[in-house]
A and B are shown apart, each in its own frame.
Chain A
Amino acid sequence: MRRMPQIAHVDVNCFYASAERAFDPSLEGRPVIVLSNNDGCAVTRSPEAKALGIPMGEPWFKLAPRAKEWGLIALSSNYELYGDISARVMELLGRYSAWLEVYSIDEAFLGVKGTPAELLALGRSMKAAVRRNVGVPVCVGIAATKTLAKLANKWAKNNPAFGGVCHWDSVPLPEREGLMGRLSVVEIWGVATRLTRRLNVMGIFSILDLSRADPVMIRDRFSVVMMRTVLELQGTPCIPMEEERIGRDQLIFSRSFAVPITTAAGMRQVLSVYGQQASARLAKHDLQAKVLTAFAGTSHFNPKDTSYPSVCVPLPMPTADPVILTKAAHALLPLINEGIRYARAGIMVTDLRPTGNQAPLALFENPHEERRVGTLLEDVTRRYGRGSIGLGYGGIRGGPDWTMKRDMLSPRYTTHWDELPLVKAA
Protein backbone atom coordinates (compact mmCIF):
# COMPACT_ATOMS: atom_id res chain seq x y z
CA MET A 1 0.00 0.00 0.00
CA ARG A 2 1.32 3.42 -0.90
CA ARG A 3 1.33 5.71 2.07
CA MET A 4 0.52 9.37 1.68
CA PRO A 5 3.12 11.64 3.18
CA GLN A 6 2.09 13.25 6.44
CA ILE A 7 3.05 16.51 8.02
CA ALA A 8 4.81 16.93 11.33
CA HIS A 9 4.44 20.25 13.11
CA VAL A 10 7.20 20.86 15.64
CA ASP A 11 7.36 23.83 17.93
CA VAL A 12 9.31 24.83 20.99
CA ASN A 13 7.37 25.09 24.25
CA CYS A 14 7.43 28.67 25.57
CA PHE A 15 10.34 29.29 23.23
CA TYR A 16 11.92 32.44 24.68
CA ALA A 17 11.61 31.28 28.27
CA SER A 18 12.96 27.83 27.37
CA ALA A 19 15.95 29.34 25.57
CA GLU A 20 16.75 31.36 28.71
CA ARG A 21 16.41 28.31 30.92
CA ALA A 22 18.76 26.29 28.76
CA PHE A 23 21.62 28.49 29.97
CA ASP A 24 20.40 29.46 33.40
CA PRO A 25 19.14 26.37 35.23
CA SER A 26 18.23 28.50 38.24
CA LEU A 27 15.18 29.63 36.23
CA GLU A 28 13.87 26.05 36.20
CA GLY A 29 10.59 25.73 38.09
CA ARG A 30 10.30 29.49 38.63
CA PRO A 31 7.81 31.85 36.96
CA VAL A 32 9.59 33.49 34.03
CA ILE A 33 8.29 35.98 31.51
CA VAL A 34 10.04 37.46 28.51
CA LEU A 35 9.12 41.01 27.58
CA SER A 36 8.44 42.40 24.13
CA ASN A 37 10.50 45.09 22.43
CA ASN A 38 11.30 47.98 24.72
CA ASP A 39 10.38 45.85 27.72
CA GLY A 40 6.73 46.54 26.95
CA CYS A 41 4.67 43.51 27.86
CA ALA A 42 4.88 39.79 28.55
CA VAL A 43 5.15 37.88 25.27
CA THR A 44 6.30 34.54 26.64
CA ARG A 45 5.19 33.04 29.93
CA SER A 46 6.53 29.90 31.53
CA PRO A 47 3.84 27.53 32.83
CA GLU A 48 4.57 28.82 36.35
CA ALA A 49 3.94 32.40 35.20
CA LYS A 50 0.68 31.33 33.55
CA ALA A 51 -0.29 29.66 36.81
CA LEU A 52 0.09 33.04 38.53
CA GLY A 53 -2.68 34.26 36.26
CA ILE A 54 -0.47 36.59 34.21
CA PRO A 55 -2.28 37.13 30.92
CA MET A 56 -0.50 37.13 27.57
CA GLY A 57 0.50 40.66 26.62
CA GLU A 58 0.22 42.04 30.15
CA PRO A 59 2.21 45.31 30.35
CA TRP A 60 5.34 45.06 32.47
CA PHE A 61 4.58 48.23 34.42
CA LYS A 62 1.50 46.51 35.82
CA LEU A 63 3.46 43.41 36.85
CA ALA A 64 6.61 45.04 38.17
CA PRO A 65 5.23 46.11 41.58
CA ARG A 66 4.29 42.52 42.42
CA ALA A 67 7.21 40.73 40.78
CA LYS A 68 9.20 40.42 43.98
CA GLU A 69 6.34 39.01 45.98
CA TRP A 70 5.65 36.43 43.27
CA GLY A 71 9.31 35.59 42.70
CA LEU A 72 8.60 36.51 39.09
CA ILE A 73 11.61 36.82 36.78
CA ALA A 74 11.23 39.17 33.84
CA LEU A 75 13.74 39.24 31.01
CA SER A 76 14.17 41.46 27.98
CA SER A 77 13.99 39.78 24.59
CA ASN A 78 17.44 38.34 23.87
CA TYR A 79 17.07 38.10 20.10
CA GLU A 80 20.69 37.13 19.53
CA LEU A 81 20.20 34.07 21.72
CA TYR A 82 16.76 33.14 20.37
CA GLY A 83 17.96 33.49 16.79
CA ASP A 84 20.86 31.13 17.36
CA ILE A 85 18.81 28.59 19.29
CA SER A 86 16.18 28.68 16.56
CA ALA A 87 18.79 28.10 13.85
CA ARG A 88 20.12 25.09 15.77
CA VAL A 89 16.64 23.61 16.19
CA MET A 90 15.87 24.08 12.48
CA GLU A 91 19.19 22.60 11.38
CA LEU A 92 18.62 19.57 13.55
CA LEU A 93 15.03 19.10 12.31
CA GLY A 94 16.32 19.39 8.75
CA ARG A 95 18.18 16.12 9.31
CA TYR A 96 14.87 14.33 9.73
CA SER A 97 13.31 15.42 6.48
CA ALA A 98 14.47 17.03 3.27
CA TRP A 99 11.10 18.70 3.24
CA LEU A 100 11.27 21.34 5.94
CA GLU A 101 9.39 24.60 6.10
CA VAL A 102 10.51 27.01 8.80
CA TYR A 103 7.23 28.64 9.69
CA SER A 104 8.41 31.00 12.39
CA ILE A 105 11.27 31.44 14.82
CA ASP A 106 10.06 28.52 16.93
CA GLU A 107 8.00 26.27 14.68
CA ALA A 108 8.42 24.23 11.53
CA PHE A 109 6.53 21.83 9.31
CA LEU A 110 8.23 18.67 8.06
CA GLY A 111 7.08 16.21 5.43
CA VAL A 112 7.25 12.70 6.92
CA LYS A 113 6.31 9.21 5.79
CA GLY A 114 5.80 5.86 7.46
CA THR A 115 3.47 3.60 9.37
CA PRO A 116 1.70 5.10 12.38
CA ALA A 117 4.19 3.35 14.66
CA GLU A 118 7.13 4.68 12.66
CA LEU A 119 5.71 8.19 12.66
CA LEU A 120 5.26 8.15 16.43
CA ALA A 121 8.80 6.88 16.87
CA LEU A 122 10.08 9.59 14.54
CA GLY A 123 8.25 12.28 16.50
CA ARG A 124 9.66 11.02 19.78
CA SER A 125 13.12 10.84 18.33
CA MET A 126 12.93 14.45 17.10
CA LYS A 127 11.66 15.61 20.47
CA ALA A 128 14.46 13.83 22.33
CA ALA A 129 17.15 15.06 19.94
CA VAL A 130 16.17 18.73 20.18
CA ARG A 131 16.05 18.51 23.96
CA ARG A 132 19.40 16.75 24.22
CA ASN A 133 21.35 18.61 21.52
CA VAL A 134 20.00 22.13 21.72
CA GLY A 135 18.53 22.05 25.23
CA VAL A 136 14.95 23.20 24.66
CA PRO A 137 11.69 21.21 24.91
CA VAL A 138 9.46 20.76 21.85
CA CYS A 139 6.12 19.13 21.13
CA VAL A 140 5.26 17.34 17.90
CA GLY A 141 1.93 16.91 16.12
CA ILE A 142 1.71 14.61 13.11
CA ALA A 143 -1.29 14.44 10.78
CA ALA A 144 -2.39 14.35 7.16
CA THR A 145 -2.64 18.14 6.85
CA LYS A 146 -0.94 21.21 8.28
CA THR A 147 -4.10 22.33 10.05
CA LEU A 148 -4.56 18.95 11.76
CA ALA A 149 -0.83 18.70 12.56
CA LYS A 150 -1.06 22.05 14.37
CA LEU A 151 -4.13 20.86 16.24
CA ALA A 152 -2.39 17.59 17.18
CA ASN A 153 0.57 19.59 18.46
CA LYS A 154 -1.66 21.75 20.62
CA TRP A 155 -3.21 18.59 22.04
CA ALA A 156 0.21 17.09 22.74
CA LYS A 157 1.14 20.27 24.63
CA ASN A 158 -1.98 20.32 26.75
CA ASN A 159 -2.45 16.64 27.52
CA PRO A 160 0.50 15.09 29.35
CA ALA A 161 -0.71 11.59 28.39
CA PHE A 162 0.79 12.12 24.94
CA GLY A 163 4.30 12.65 26.27
CA GLY A 164 4.66 15.60 23.92
CA VAL A 165 4.03 13.72 20.67
CA CYS A 166 0.61 13.22 19.09
CA HIS A 167 -0.02 11.29 15.90
CA TRP A 168 -3.56 12.34 14.98
CA ASP A 169 -4.60 9.22 13.10
CA SER A 170 -3.44 6.95 15.92
CA VAL A 171 -5.90 8.50 18.35
CA PRO A 172 -9.31 6.73 18.34
CA LEU A 173 -11.93 8.69 16.37
CA PRO A 174 -14.30 9.31 19.30
CA GLU A 175 -11.48 10.97 21.25
CA ARG A 176 -10.53 13.17 18.30
CA GLU A 177 -14.14 14.19 17.83
CA GLY A 178 -14.41 14.81 21.54
CA LEU A 179 -11.50 17.23 21.38
CA MET A 180 -12.79 18.99 18.29
CA GLY A 181 -16.20 19.26 19.90
CA ARG A 182 -14.75 20.87 23.03
CA LEU A 183 -12.61 23.45 21.24
CA SER A 184 -14.10 26.66 19.94
CA VAL A 185 -13.63 27.33 16.28
CA VAL A 186 -11.29 30.26 17.10
CA GLU A 187 -8.75 27.75 18.35
CA ILE A 188 -8.07 26.44 14.89
CA TRP A 189 -5.20 27.75 12.82
CA GLY A 190 -6.40 30.16 10.17
CA VAL A 191 -9.77 31.21 11.54
CA ALA A 192 -9.77 34.86 12.48
CA THR A 193 -11.50 35.81 15.72
CA ARG A 194 -13.64 38.38 13.94
CA LEU A 195 -15.21 35.64 11.79
CA THR A 196 -16.48 33.64 14.74
CA ARG A 197 -19.68 35.65 15.08
CA ARG A 198 -20.62 34.91 11.49
CA LEU A 199 -19.76 31.24 11.95
CA ASN A 200 -21.78 31.07 15.15
CA VAL A 201 -24.81 32.51 13.37
CA MET A 202 -24.60 29.54 11.01
CA GLY A 203 -24.54 27.14 13.94
CA ILE A 204 -20.80 26.56 13.74
CA PHE A 205 -19.32 26.85 17.20
CA SER A 206 -16.75 24.11 17.63
CA ILE A 207 -13.94 22.86 15.42
CA LEU A 208 -16.02 19.72 14.97
CA ASP A 209 -18.91 21.80 13.61
CA LEU A 210 -16.58 23.45 11.13
CA SER A 211 -15.10 20.13 10.04
CA ARG A 212 -18.61 18.92 9.20
CA ALA A 213 -19.59 21.98 7.22
CA ASP A 214 -20.04 21.86 3.48
CA PRO A 215 -16.81 23.21 1.95
CA VAL A 216 -18.56 24.71 -1.06
CA MET A 217 -21.08 26.54 1.09
CA ILE A 218 -18.21 27.82 3.26
CA ARG A 219 -16.39 29.05 0.18
CA ASP A 220 -19.47 30.90 -1.04
CA ARG A 221 -20.24 32.48 2.32
CA PHE A 222 -16.67 33.17 3.43
CA SER A 223 -13.67 32.57 1.24
CA VAL A 224 -11.45 30.00 -0.39
CA VAL A 225 -9.19 30.34 2.63
CA MET A 226 -11.91 29.17 5.00
CA MET A 227 -12.84 26.36 2.61
CA ARG A 228 -9.26 25.15 2.72
CA THR A 229 -9.42 25.04 6.49
CA VAL A 230 -12.57 22.90 6.30
CA LEU A 231 -10.99 20.51 3.80
CA GLU A 232 -7.81 20.32 5.87
CA LEU A 233 -9.86 19.46 8.95
CA GLN A 234 -11.45 16.68 6.90
CA GLY A 235 -7.98 15.36 6.10
CA THR A 236 -7.45 16.73 2.60
CA PRO A 237 -4.14 18.63 2.33
CA CYS A 238 -4.78 22.09 0.84
CA ILE A 239 -2.04 24.27 2.26
CA PRO A 240 1.10 23.16 0.48
CA MET A 241 4.53 23.04 2.02
CA GLU A 242 6.41 26.18 1.09
CA GLU A 243 9.29 25.61 -1.20
CA GLU A 244 12.79 25.78 0.12
CA ARG A 245 13.53 29.45 0.17
CA ILE A 246 17.22 29.48 -0.61
CA GLY A 247 18.18 28.48 -4.07
CA ARG A 248 21.60 28.58 -5.59
CA ASP A 249 20.81 31.68 -7.49
CA GLN A 250 18.73 33.68 -5.06
CA LEU A 251 18.67 34.88 -1.50
CA ILE A 252 15.49 35.82 0.31
CA PHE A 253 15.13 37.95 3.40
CA SER A 254 11.62 37.95 4.65
CA ARG A 255 9.59 37.49 7.75
CA SER A 256 6.13 37.78 9.18
CA PHE A 257 5.59 40.58 11.66
CA ALA A 258 4.28 40.04 15.14
CA VAL A 259 2.48 43.35 14.81
CA PRO A 260 1.35 44.32 11.30
CA ILE A 261 3.05 47.27 9.65
CA THR A 262 0.59 49.92 8.51
CA THR A 263 2.74 52.82 7.37
CA ALA A 264 5.19 53.47 4.59
CA ALA A 265 7.64 54.76 7.21
CA GLY A 266 7.51 51.44 9.05
CA MET A 267 7.95 49.58 5.80
CA ARG A 268 10.93 51.77 4.90
CA GLN A 269 12.70 50.67 8.09
CA VAL A 270 12.10 47.01 7.44
CA LEU A 271 13.26 47.22 3.83
CA SER A 272 16.39 49.11 4.89
CA VAL A 273 17.29 46.37 7.31
CA TYR A 274 16.75 43.68 4.68
CA GLY A 275 18.80 45.65 2.16
CA GLN A 276 21.72 45.66 4.55
CA GLN A 277 21.30 42.03 5.49
CA ALA A 278 21.27 41.08 1.82
CA SER A 279 24.40 43.13 1.25
CA ALA A 280 26.21 41.44 4.13
CA ARG A 281 25.16 37.98 2.98
CA LEU A 282 26.18 38.61 -0.59
CA ALA A 283 29.56 40.01 0.46
CA LYS A 284 30.17 37.03 2.69
CA HIS A 285 29.75 34.71 -0.26
CA ASP A 286 31.58 36.95 -2.71
CA LEU A 287 28.45 37.34 -4.75
CA GLN A 288 26.79 40.23 -6.50
CA ALA A 289 23.17 40.50 -7.51
CA LYS A 290 21.74 41.88 -10.72
CA VAL A 291 18.08 42.02 -9.76
CA LEU A 292 16.28 42.89 -6.55
CA THR A 293 12.64 42.15 -5.87
CA ALA A 294 10.87 43.73 -2.91
CA PHE A 295 7.48 42.55 -1.76
CA ALA A 296 4.97 42.86 1.02
CA GLY A 297 1.68 41.19 1.77
CA THR A 298 -1.31 41.13 4.03
CA SER A 299 -2.10 38.00 6.02
CA HIS A 300 -3.62 35.26 3.90
CA PHE A 301 -5.97 34.61 6.78
CA ASN A 302 -7.42 38.04 6.24
CA PRO A 303 -9.24 37.95 2.93
CA LYS A 304 -10.41 41.55 3.24
CA ASP A 305 -8.18 44.46 2.29
CA THR A 306 -5.68 42.21 0.64
CA SER A 307 -2.62 43.82 -0.83
CA TYR A 308 0.41 42.08 -2.27
CA PRO A 309 2.57 44.79 -3.78
CA SER A 310 5.83 43.75 -5.32
CA VAL A 311 8.38 45.42 -7.46
CA CYS A 312 11.25 44.08 -9.49
CA VAL A 313 14.27 46.35 -9.83
CA PRO A 314 17.04 45.62 -12.31
CA LEU A 315 20.20 46.95 -10.67
CA PRO A 316 22.45 49.33 -12.61
CA MET A 317 25.33 46.87 -12.29
CA PRO A 318 25.92 43.59 -10.45
CA THR A 319 26.36 44.71 -6.87
CA ALA A 320 26.45 43.83 -3.20
CA ASP A 321 26.47 47.47 -2.19
CA PRO A 322 24.16 48.17 0.76
CA VAL A 323 23.36 51.70 -0.40
CA ILE A 324 22.22 50.56 -3.82
CA LEU A 325 20.36 47.49 -2.54
CA THR A 326 18.53 49.52 0.10
CA LYS A 327 17.62 52.19 -2.40
CA ALA A 328 16.32 49.55 -4.79
CA ALA A 329 14.22 47.98 -2.02
CA HIS A 330 12.62 51.34 -1.35
CA ALA A 331 11.09 51.22 -4.83
CA LEU A 332 8.31 49.27 -3.13
CA LEU A 333 7.30 52.22 -0.94
CA PRO A 334 5.10 54.06 -3.47
CA LEU A 335 3.01 50.87 -3.71
CA ILE A 336 2.39 50.66 0.03
CA ASN A 337 -1.11 51.73 1.01
CA GLU A 338 -1.14 53.57 4.30
CA GLY A 339 -3.49 51.90 6.74
CA ILE A 340 -3.38 48.45 5.19
CA ARG A 341 -2.13 45.87 7.68
CA TYR A 342 0.91 44.25 6.12
CA ALA A 343 1.75 40.98 7.81
CA ARG A 344 5.00 40.30 6.00
CA ALA A 345 7.56 41.84 3.74
CA GLY A 346 10.82 40.86 2.22
CA ILE A 347 13.36 41.26 -0.47
CA MET A 348 14.86 38.76 -2.84
CA VAL A 349 18.08 39.20 -4.75
CA THR A 350 18.47 37.14 -7.87
CA ASP A 351 20.73 36.61 -10.83
CA LEU A 352 23.72 36.20 -8.54
CA ARG A 353 27.24 36.03 -9.82
CA PRO A 354 30.68 35.83 -8.26
CA THR A 355 32.24 39.19 -7.45
CA GLY A 356 34.73 40.49 -9.92
CA ASN A 357 34.19 37.87 -12.55
CA GLN A 358 34.28 40.53 -15.17
CA ALA A 359 35.32 44.01 -14.29
CA PRO A 360 32.59 46.49 -15.11
CA LEU A 361 33.46 49.35 -17.38
CA ALA A 362 34.65 52.27 -15.34
CA LEU A 363 31.59 54.15 -16.44
CA PHE A 364 29.37 51.75 -14.54
CA GLU A 365 31.61 51.26 -11.59
CA ASN A 366 29.75 51.73 -8.40
CA PRO A 367 31.02 54.68 -6.38
CA HIS A 368 30.22 53.10 -3.00
CA GLU A 369 31.86 49.80 -3.70
CA GLU A 370 35.03 51.70 -4.43
CA ARG A 371 34.94 53.13 -0.92
CA ARG A 372 34.14 49.76 0.61
CA VAL A 373 31.05 50.97 2.43
CA GLY A 374 29.65 47.46 2.63
CA THR A 375 32.78 45.95 4.14
CA LEU A 376 33.00 48.74 6.68
CA LEU A 377 29.40 48.28 7.80
CA GLU A 378 29.98 44.60 8.12
CA ASP A 379 33.15 44.95 10.17
CA VAL A 380 31.52 47.38 12.57
CA THR A 381 28.48 45.14 12.94
CA ARG A 382 30.60 42.09 13.63
CA ARG A 383 32.61 43.92 16.23
CA TYR A 384 30.01 46.01 17.98
CA GLY A 385 26.84 44.08 17.33
CA ARG A 386 23.80 44.35 15.13
CA GLY A 387 22.30 47.79 15.12
CA SER A 388 25.54 49.51 16.13
CA ILE A 389 25.76 51.04 12.67
CA GLY A 390 23.47 51.18 9.70
CA LEU A 391 22.34 53.15 6.72
CA GLY A 392 19.57 55.67 6.95
CA TYR A 393 16.45 54.17 8.41
CA GLY A 394 18.10 50.80 8.92
CA GLY A 395 20.58 52.38 11.27
CA ILE A 396 20.44 53.35 14.87
CA ARG A 397 18.36 56.39 14.21
CA GLY A 398 15.72 54.17 12.72
CA GLY A 399 13.24 54.79 15.48
CA PRO A 400 11.97 52.97 18.51
CA ASP A 401 11.33 49.64 16.77
CA TRP A 402 14.97 49.07 16.11
CA THR A 403 16.56 50.78 19.05
CA MET A 404 15.17 48.75 21.81
CA LYS A 405 15.20 49.24 25.47
CA ARG A 406 16.45 45.99 26.96
CA ASP A 407 17.11 46.64 30.61
CA MET A 408 16.71 43.06 31.76
CA LEU A 409 18.73 41.39 29.07
CA SER A 410 20.39 38.06 29.83
CA PRO A 411 23.87 37.43 28.38
CA ARG A 412 24.03 36.74 24.66
CA TYR A 413 25.45 33.35 25.58
CA THR A 414 26.12 31.92 22.14
CA THR A 415 27.03 34.86 19.96
CA HIS A 416 29.44 37.00 22.01
CA TRP A 417 32.78 35.82 23.42
CA ASP A 418 32.54 38.14 26.39
CA GLU A 419 29.10 36.88 27.36
CA LEU A 420 29.67 33.10 27.36
CA PRO A 421 27.82 31.03 29.98
CA LEU A 422 29.94 30.69 33.11
CA VAL A 423 30.60 27.23 34.53
CA LYS A 424 31.68 27.11 38.13
CA ALA A 425 34.87 25.27 38.99
CA ALA A 426 34.49 25.36 42.75
Chain B
Amino acid sequence: MGVIVGPRVIEAGVSLLSVLVSPVPVAAGFPSPAQDYFDGRIDLNEHLIKDITSTYVVRVSGESMEGAGISDGDELIVNRALEPVDGSVVVAVLDGELTIKRLRITPAGVMLQAENPAYPDIRVPALSDLVIWGVATRCLHYV
Protein backbone atom coordinates (compact mmCIF):
# COMPACT_ATOMS: atom_id res chain seq x y z
CA MET B 1 0.00 0.00 0.00
CA GLY B 2 3.05 2.19 -0.26
CA VAL B 3 3.02 3.36 3.32
CA ILE B 4 6.22 5.13 4.07
CA VAL B 5 6.95 5.28 7.73
CA GLY B 6 9.71 7.80 7.85
CA PRO B 7 12.94 8.12 5.97
CA ARG B 8 15.28 5.50 7.26
CA VAL B 9 12.66 2.86 7.57
CA ILE B 10 13.56 0.49 10.31
CA GLU B 11 14.34 -2.10 7.62
CA ALA B 12 17.87 -0.73 7.64
CA GLY B 13 18.38 -2.26 11.03
CA VAL B 14 16.86 -5.61 10.25
CA SER B 15 20.02 -7.56 9.59
CA LEU B 16 21.64 -5.94 12.59
CA LEU B 17 18.79 -6.98 14.84
CA SER B 18 18.68 -10.49 13.52
CA VAL B 19 22.36 -11.06 14.15
CA LEU B 20 22.03 -9.80 17.68
CA VAL B 21 19.78 -12.71 18.46
CA SER B 22 21.98 -15.70 19.05
CA PRO B 23 21.04 -18.83 17.10
CA VAL B 24 22.80 -20.87 19.73
CA PRO B 25 20.21 -22.23 22.13
CA VAL B 26 20.74 -20.72 25.53
CA ALA B 27 21.04 -23.50 28.05
CA ALA B 28 19.73 -22.77 31.48
CA GLY B 29 22.57 -24.40 33.36
CA PHE B 30 25.76 -24.16 31.32
CA PRO B 31 26.28 -21.34 28.86
CA SER B 32 27.39 -22.55 25.45
CA PRO B 33 31.12 -22.03 24.86
CA ALA B 34 30.24 -20.92 21.29
CA GLN B 35 28.13 -18.06 22.56
CA ASP B 36 30.97 -15.57 22.88
CA TYR B 37 32.28 -16.28 19.40
CA PHE B 38 29.07 -15.72 17.53
CA ASP B 39 29.01 -12.39 15.79
CA GLY B 40 26.44 -12.91 13.11
CA ARG B 41 25.70 -15.20 10.17
CA ILE B 42 27.08 -14.28 6.80
CA ASP B 43 24.70 -11.95 5.05
CA LEU B 44 24.25 -12.12 1.28
CA ASN B 45 22.71 -8.67 1.11
CA GLU B 46 25.75 -7.19 2.74
CA HIS B 47 28.03 -9.17 0.45
CA LEU B 48 26.30 -8.45 -2.84
CA ILE B 49 24.81 -4.99 -2.41
CA LYS B 50 27.03 -1.97 -1.95
CA ASP B 51 24.25 0.60 -2.09
CA ILE B 52 20.63 -0.42 -1.75
CA THR B 53 19.37 2.79 -3.34
CA SER B 54 21.09 2.07 -6.65
CA THR B 55 21.08 -1.73 -6.84
CA TYR B 56 18.53 -3.70 -8.84
CA VAL B 57 18.23 -7.36 -9.80
CA VAL B 58 17.41 -8.18 -13.42
CA ARG B 59 16.92 -11.44 -15.31
CA VAL B 60 18.90 -12.40 -18.42
CA SER B 61 17.01 -13.47 -21.53
CA GLY B 62 19.17 -14.93 -24.30
CA GLU B 63 22.56 -16.54 -24.94
CA SER B 64 24.73 -13.70 -26.22
CA MET B 65 26.76 -13.40 -23.00
CA GLU B 66 27.60 -17.10 -22.52
CA GLY B 67 31.32 -16.35 -22.89
CA ALA B 68 31.18 -14.14 -19.80
CA GLY B 69 29.51 -16.89 -17.79
CA ILE B 70 26.11 -15.23 -18.05
CA SER B 71 23.39 -17.61 -19.24
CA ASP B 72 19.76 -17.43 -20.18
CA GLY B 73 17.65 -17.15 -17.02
CA ASP B 74 20.47 -15.99 -14.72
CA GLU B 75 19.92 -13.10 -12.35
CA LEU B 76 22.28 -10.15 -12.49
CA ILE B 77 22.96 -7.66 -9.76
CA VAL B 78 23.17 -4.25 -11.36
CA ASN B 79 24.46 -1.10 -9.71
CA ARG B 80 23.25 2.07 -11.39
CA ALA B 81 25.65 4.30 -9.49
CA LEU B 82 28.86 2.82 -10.95
CA GLU B 83 30.77 4.62 -13.67
CA PRO B 84 31.02 2.27 -16.67
CA VAL B 85 34.59 1.74 -17.89
CA ASP B 86 36.24 -0.27 -20.64
CA GLY B 87 35.46 -3.92 -19.95
CA SER B 88 32.36 -3.31 -17.78
CA VAL B 89 29.40 -5.60 -18.34
CA VAL B 90 26.63 -3.07 -18.77
CA VAL B 91 22.89 -2.91 -19.14
CA ALA B 92 22.38 -0.47 -22.00
CA VAL B 93 19.19 0.89 -23.51
CA LEU B 94 19.02 -0.19 -27.17
CA ASP B 95 15.85 0.49 -29.17
CA GLY B 96 13.83 0.94 -26.01
CA GLU B 97 15.00 -2.34 -24.53
CA LEU B 98 17.36 -3.18 -21.69
CA THR B 99 20.22 -5.09 -23.25
CA ILE B 100 23.28 -6.68 -21.70
CA LYS B 101 26.69 -6.26 -23.39
CA ARG B 102 30.36 -5.85 -22.63
CA LEU B 103 31.38 -2.20 -23.01
CA ARG B 104 34.59 -1.54 -24.93
CA ILE B 105 36.12 1.92 -24.93
CA THR B 106 39.22 1.94 -27.11
CA PRO B 107 41.07 4.53 -29.19
CA ALA B 108 39.34 2.91 -32.17
CA GLY B 109 35.92 3.75 -30.75
CA VAL B 110 33.15 2.62 -28.46
CA MET B 111 31.66 -0.82 -28.90
CA LEU B 112 29.04 -3.02 -27.27
CA GLN B 113 30.37 -6.54 -27.46
CA ALA B 114 28.52 -9.81 -27.26
CA GLU B 115 30.34 -12.67 -25.56
CA ASN B 116 29.21 -15.27 -28.04
CA PRO B 117 30.56 -15.51 -31.59
CA ALA B 118 27.05 -16.10 -32.91
CA TYR B 119 26.06 -12.53 -32.04
CA PRO B 120 27.40 -9.37 -33.66
CA ASP B 121 29.08 -6.46 -31.84
CA ILE B 122 27.50 -3.04 -32.03
CA ARG B 123 29.59 0.02 -32.85
CA VAL B 124 28.59 3.26 -31.16
CA PRO B 125 29.73 6.67 -32.47
CA ALA B 126 30.50 7.98 -28.96
CA LEU B 127 29.93 7.07 -25.32
CA SER B 128 27.53 10.01 -25.06
CA ASP B 129 25.25 8.37 -27.63
CA LEU B 130 24.75 5.46 -25.28
CA VAL B 131 22.25 5.28 -22.47
CA ILE B 132 23.83 3.05 -19.86
CA TRP B 133 21.22 1.86 -17.38
CA GLY B 134 23.65 0.28 -14.96
CA VAL B 135 26.77 -1.80 -14.48
CA ALA B 136 26.43 -5.50 -13.68
CA THR B 137 28.52 -6.50 -10.69
CA ARG B 138 27.50 -10.11 -10.05
CA CYS B 139 25.80 -12.92 -11.87
CA LEU B 140 23.64 -15.38 -9.97
CA HIS B 141 24.20 -18.32 -12.27
CA TYR B 142 22.19 -21.52 -12.05
CA VAL B 143 24.51 -24.54 -11.83
Interface residues of A (CB under 8 A from B): 23, 25-26, 28, 79, 82-83, 86-94, 100, 102, 105, 108, 132-135, 244-246, 251-255, 273, 277, 281, 284-286, 386, 413-414, 417, 420-426
Contact = CB atoms under 8 A, between A and B. Distances in A.
B54 A421 contact: no
Contacts of A251: 5, 10
A423 B80 contact: no
Contacts of B14: 284-285
Interface in B59-74: 59-65, 70, 72
Contacts of A134: 53-54, 80
Contact of B60 (A108, A254, A417, A425): A425
A133 B133 CA distance: 10
Contacts of A86: 2, 4
A285 B15 CA distance: 10
Nearest to A426: B62
Nearest to B64: A425
A83 B4 contact: yes
B97 interface: yes
A133 B6 contact: no
A95 B65 CA distance: 36
B60 A79 contact: no
A26 B2 contact: no
A420 B75 contact: yes
Interface residues of B, number: 48
A420 B94 CA distance: 18
B53 to A, nearest CB: 4
Contacts of B131: 25
A255 B2 CA distance: 9
Given A25-B96, A420-B58, 4 more contacts: A285-B13, A421-B56, A426-B62, A426-B119
Contacts of A414: 56-57
A426 B10 contact: no
Interface of B: 1-14, 17, 21, 51-54, 56-65, 70, 72, 75-76, 80-81, 91, 93-94, 96-100, 114, 119, 131, 133
Contacts of A88: 52-54
A424 B17 contact: no
Nearest to A99: B7
A425 B98 contact: no
A87 B99 contact: no
Contacts of B3: 83, 253-255, 277
Contacts of B63: 425-426
Nearest to B17: A285
26 contacts: A23-B98, A25-B98, A28-B96, A79-B1, A86-B4, A90-B9, A91-B9, A94-B8, A100-B7, A102-B7, A105-B4, A108-B7, A133-B54, A134-B54, A244-B6, A253-B3, A273-B1, A285-B13, A386-B1, A421-B98, A422-B58, A423-B99, A424-B100, A425-B62, A425-B65, A426-B119
Contacts of B11: 87
Contact of B2 (A82, A417, A422, A424): A82
Given A25-B96, A88-B52, A424-B62, A79 B57 contact: no
A422 B53 contact: no
B100 to A, nearest CB: 5
Given A133-B80, A425-B70, A245 B6 contact: yes
Contacts of B1: 79, 83, 273, 386
A92 B98 contact: no
Given A79-B1, A92-B53, A246-B10, A423 B100 contact: yes
A102 B5 CA distance: 8
A219 to B, nearest CB: 32
Contact of B6 (A23, A105, A246): A246
CB-CB nearest 10 A-B residue pairs? A26-B96, A425-B62, A133-B54, A83-B2, A426-B62, A245-B6, A425-B64, A420-B59, A94-B7, A92-B53
Contacts of B17: 285-286
Nearest to B136: A423
A422 B10 contact: no
Contact of B59 (A25, A135, A252, A423): A423
A281 B10 contact: yes
Contacts of B56: 413-414, 421
Contacts of A79: 1-2
A133 B51 CA distance: 9
A424 B5 contact: no
B96 A91 contact: no
Contact of A420 (B52, B57, B62): B57
Contact of A422 (B4, B6, B21, B98): B98
Nearest to A78: B2
A25 B96 CA distance: 5
A413 B58 CA distance: 8
Contact of A423 (B2, B81, B91, B96): B91
A281 B9 CA distance: 11
A132 B51 CA distance: 12
